[in-house]
Structure 1
């Protein structure tokens, strides 16, 4: 992890951008290299920013946060963490956020301390899932987490999983931590068992079935 986390901000309200930028830069380990008011400008200039985290509004002109997040994930994968700020608390919005593998979905009523915590948690690979979304969803794993869980069920090591899914071993460990938290287990064996029990891994096959 670099000495300072580089956080890029995106919001079409200048006062929101200025206030958040000023607060974040009071943190010794955070810097804000750029702010943007238009998603298209961010896409055109994000390479030069060398961003670690993007904190962005979900409702913007020309492109919403989910569309932008999907484009960023397709281009950068987990090398850029996405934190979505929204005035909406609909379950379907939570689900969309996790479908694009955002690291956090926060209310626009969140405090600066909560946003700063989400930034730091995202850099550790943690995904902040609203409790009510967990309660109403069926083990809300992201697509990548499902792939990792499948590889674990195939008895692959972290090294093998990292190679097959083109990610670092540390990233595999982050996903494993998130999977365990979401499934309410404490081990790889427990995650696989819960995966079969919940239907995430399909039906459990034995030698007698073959």
Structure 2
């Protein structure tokens, strides 16, 4: 089955460019387009995409509020890939906090766009570690988010799970974490799953945001 993608951007040329890139792939299908975040929820219910590629800045309803609405009102929501012009943007960080699975720059090469969509569809998070650290340092609460601190305290992560979360926050893959901790990849997958379950995190991105917001990991 092809990966089903919904494009949401107020610029027709951006949507046309993304459609051309994605539909050139035999395993990706663009199933719809919208020019504003206000149309996201009804369109998702209609066309049931696997991935929503969504602009973060739109005139009526931006990508942040559209993400919140989607996750709040749609059962089994699709993955959300924020598409942005500037990586060092408070809107991007707020979208990640709201539940987006990752972000992609509009200037990305076609191969990077395709890779991002496939990665997100498979349930992996698309993180740019240096960019996310910079965003957390500039726009995060610096450990002052009481809800995130309480969430982390309730999780009661083991020492090894804490190590894994710190390495996730640095952007390491499961294989890289396994090499660093000298354990098997399957063991790391089990630890990652436990971390996500204990934090009630939708994916790795949300776990990393909680780590930064709670002060468990310093973004600097």
- Tell me which interval the TM-score lies in, with the shorter structure as reference length: 0.5 to 0.7
Query: Would the aligned equivalents of 2:36 and 2:62 in 1 still touch at CA under 8 Å?
Result: no
Q: Give the C-alpha shift of residue 21 in structure 1.
A: 0.9
Question: Any residues of structure 2 matched to 1:36-185 within 5 Å, and which?
Answer: 36-76=34-74, 79-90=77-88, 92-136=90-134, 137=136, 151=155, 153=157, 181-182=168-169
Query: Would the aligned equivalents of 2:36 and 2:58 in 1 still touch at CA under 8 Å?
Result: yes
Cα distance in 2, alignment partners of residues 178 and 15 from structure 1: 39
Q: 1:34 to 1:198 in 2, by over 3 A?
A: closer
Cα distance in 2, alignment partners of residues 105 and 31 from structure 1: 20
TM-score, structure 2 length as denominator? Answer: 0.63
Cα distance in 2, alignment partners of residues 72 and 179 from structure 1: 29
Query: Would the aligned equivalents of 2:10 and 2:35 in 1 still touch at CA under 8 Å?
Result: yes
Q: Give the C-alpha shift of residue 134 in structure 1.
A: 4.3
TM-score, structure 1 length as denominator? Answer: 0.66
Q: 1:33 to 1:120 in 2, by over 3 A?
A: same
Cα distance in 1, alignment partners of residues 95 and 48 from structure 2: 22
Q: 1:62 to 1:134 in 2, by over 3 A?
A: closer
Query: Would the aligned equivalents of 2:5 and 2:30 in 1 still touch at CA under 8 Å?
Result: yes
Higher relative contact order (Cα pairs below 8 Å, separated by 6+ residues): 2
Number of residue pairs aligned between Structure 1 and Structure 2:
174
Larger Rg: 1
Query: Would the aligned equivalents of 1:94 and 1:133 in 2 still touch at CA under 8 Å?
Result: no
Q: 1:15 to 1:131 in 2, by over 3 A?
A: same
SS at match of 1:27: coil
Q: Deviations over 1:133-171 (max 9, x none)?
A: 344448x9xx99x969955738xxxxxxxxxxxxxxxxx
RMSD: 4.0
Q: 1:8 to 1:179 in 2, by over 3 A?
A: farther
Which structure 1 segments of 5+ residues have no match?
155-176, 203-210
Cα distance in 1, alignment partners of residues 26 and 35 from structure 2: 25
